[in-house]
Chains A and B, each alone.
Chain A
Amino acid sequence: MPRSALTGTRIRERRTMIGMRQADLARLAGISPSYLNLIEHNRRRIGGKLLVELARNLGVEASALTEGAAAALIETLREAAAGHDEAEADLPRLEEFAGRFPGWAGLIADRHRRVRELERTVEMLTDRMTHDPFLSASLHEVISAVTAIRSTAAILADTEDIDPDWQRRFHRNLSDDSRRLAEGAQALVAYLDEGTEDPGVQSSPQEEVEAFLRARDWHLPELERSLPPDPARIVAEARELTSGPARELALAHLKRYRRDAELMPLQRFSEAARGAALDPGALAQAFGVDPGAAFRRLAALPEDRAGGPVGLVACDGSGTLTFRKPVEGFSLPRFGAACPLWPLYQALSRPMAPVRAVVELGGATPQRFLTYAICQPVLAAGFDGPQVLEAAMLILPEGTVALPRMAAQPVGTSCRICPRRGCVARREPSILANGF
């Protein structure tokens, strides 16, 4: 999200790069050198006319001074501060901190991300221990064998006048049960060994697939060709996909990608897309596909063909995000639930009804996006099966398409880091003390 964050640092960098003195820039912009000094050290927020004036004198666009990776850093730091009283008290000085100590800020952000990953791993392992049917069955088998052995052995040891027939029987039982115990224990060890070698516990399968797609800019030229390679081969050769479940997810994605590519050939689709100003409804009709397929195809276009970045997010019937292709300024939460006001969820509550809305993300510089959303049944188990729904939302930034004239719906990313105080859909308090 473009913010004034770290703008000061950029101004200073640009000024020293072109060899201009602070006093000179201050004079040109009509402010005092000491005020410019405060701005450059991120101790004063800056925007509007003054920013434009400084940018002009530095020979750059104003946006070059405000946009960039800094915003993502600030978001991560905000998340890291969540629930930490002292850090929350210091939130108003967050931008100043990140600007003055970029190295330390980066370290905190990296540590925070790592902690989240590890928490996730612990969660998965706990889940696995509690709900794993194999583990549960093996343990039951072992305990049953041990119980029989303990009881039988005690009988043999403690009964002095035991009948020889019974004795033989118990010896045989002991032998059977000890074999069963050994097999059960071996199976357990083998299972747990396999678990430690599974690199999939490092991150979720979904994240692996996202890393794989991100590395290819979400576009796979090899699947656009008329004789494409087998998707299974692409998956097998991908270094990012280490776990079995991730490879399975990726394979399903690639197969769907290929089907979409066949129905909507790249050249024809990109021309039609530009012609229709990326309207997925018009494209779906033109290519005889469902709107969801048009969403996916638009999100898989290279940026130069789409006219700018295109974001896509999908969820299942529980609202859990199942696919995330973020765009700058519209961050998609990695864990937990997103903003309930997203058109994605409005669509989820009304299957098959298309939703088109302009949304505005909160922040110092509110940013607007055109979104299209729709929820469709997957019919995975046919008409009689349980109804499986999939909702998707296409996210088009203002630079990619012209926004239609319509009132913008205020939305956020997730309640915890959302500054909108009076929001009717809020489910938990924000960690941002005063909002904006």
Chain B
Amino acid sequence: MDKRVLLIEDEPNIIEAIRFILARDGWRVDTHADGTTAFDRVAETRPDIVILDVMLPGRSGFDILRDIRADAGLGALPVLMLTAKGQVKDRDLAERMGASRFMAKPFSNTEVLASVRELTGA
């Protein structure tokens, strides 16, 4: 059965690129661009991994991460955080809130792919 990624990101061209590289690697990629409804989408699709951008319209990626970690059924879900601010402050915050990995933009495709594979044990 295909493994599933949910990509929560609002930049269309970044979505397109990530979708392409993951799809070629055999992943089924769902995408979501709105922060306010992102958590519901996670709960609904139950992916194997979430790629989560920090700066989203409506709601911050950190808030969504907090909800995921607080949810009994989703708590153990691997979450790869993406951010345009590679600051130590954001990295620390992401770690404290339980992000499985933190990646600063601009990332390399191979790095994203390797991280997704590693975090899901694929």
Residues in chain A within 8 A of chain B (CB atoms): 139-140, 143-144, 146-152, 154-155, 158-159, 166, 169-170, 173, 176-177
Q: For residue A158, which residues in chain B have a CB less than 8 angstroms away from its CB?
A: 109
Q: Determine which of A140, A159, A170 lies in contact with B24 in the assembled complex, contact meaning CB atoms within 8 Å.
A: A159
Q: Is the CB of B13 within 8 A of A140?
A: no
Q: For residue A148, which residues in chain B have a CB less than 8 angstroms away from its CB?
A: 11, 13-14, 17
Q: Is the CB of B20 within 8 A of A166?
A: yes
Q: Is the CB of A151 within 8 A of B84?
A: no
Q: Is the CB of B109 within 8 A of A147?
A: no
| Interface pick from B31-39, B42-50, B73-81, B100-108 | B100-108
Q: Is the CB of B84 within 8 A of A140?
A: yes
Within 85-116 of B, Cβ neighbours of A (below 8 Å) are at: 85, 105-110
Give the distance in Å from the alpha carbon of A155 to the alpha carbon of B17 in the complex: 8
Give the distance in Å from the alpha carbon of A169 to the alpha carbon of B20 in the complex: 11
The tally of CB-CB contacts under 8 A between chains A and B is 57
Q: Is the CB of A151 within 8 A of B11?
A: no
Q: Is the CB of B11 within 8 A of A147?
A: yes
Q: Is the CB of A151 within 8 A of B55?
A: no
- Extra A-B contacts (18), CB below 8 Å, given A144-B84, A144-B105, A154-B110: A139-B84, A143-B84, A143-B105, A147-B11, A147-B106, A148-B11, A148-B13, A151-B18, A151-B109, A155-B21, A158-B109, A166-B20, A169-B16, A170-B16, A170-B20, A173-B16, A176-B13, A177-B13
Give the distance in Å from the alpha carbon of A409 to the alpha carbon of B71 in the complex: 61
Give the distance in Å from the alpha carbon of A173 to the alpha carbon of B13 in the complex: 6
11 sample A-B contacts, Cβ–Cβ < 8 Å, listed by A number: A139-B84, A140-B85, A143-B105, A143-B106, A147-B107, A148-B17, A150-B107, A151-B21, A151-B107, A169-B16, A170-B16
Q: For residue A144, which residues in chain B have a CB less than 8 angstroms away from its CB?
A: 11, 14, 84, 105
Q: Is the CB of B14 within 8 A of A147?
A: yes
A144, closest chain B residue (CB): B11
State the Cβ distance, B114 to closest chain A Cβ, in Å: 13
State the Cβ distance, A162 to closest chain B Cβ, in Å: 9
Within 1-39 of B, Cβ neighbours of A (below 8 Å) are at: 11, 13-14, 16-18, 20-21, 24
Q: Is the CB of A140 within 8 A of B55?
A: yes
Give the distance in Å from the alpha carbon of A158 to the alpha carbon of B107 in the complex: 15
Q: For residue B84, which residues in chain A have a CB less than 8 angstroms away from its CB?
A: 139-140, 143-144, 147
State the Cβ distance, B109 to closest chain A Cβ, in Å: 5
Q: For residue B106, which residues in chain A have a CB less than 8 angstroms away from its CB?
A: 143, 146-147, 149-151
If A143-B105, A143-B106, A146-B106 touch, does A151 touch B24 (CB 8 Å cutoff)?
Answer: no
Q: For residue A166, which residues in chain B have a CB less than 8 angstroms away from its CB?
A: 20
B82, closest chain A residue (CB): A147
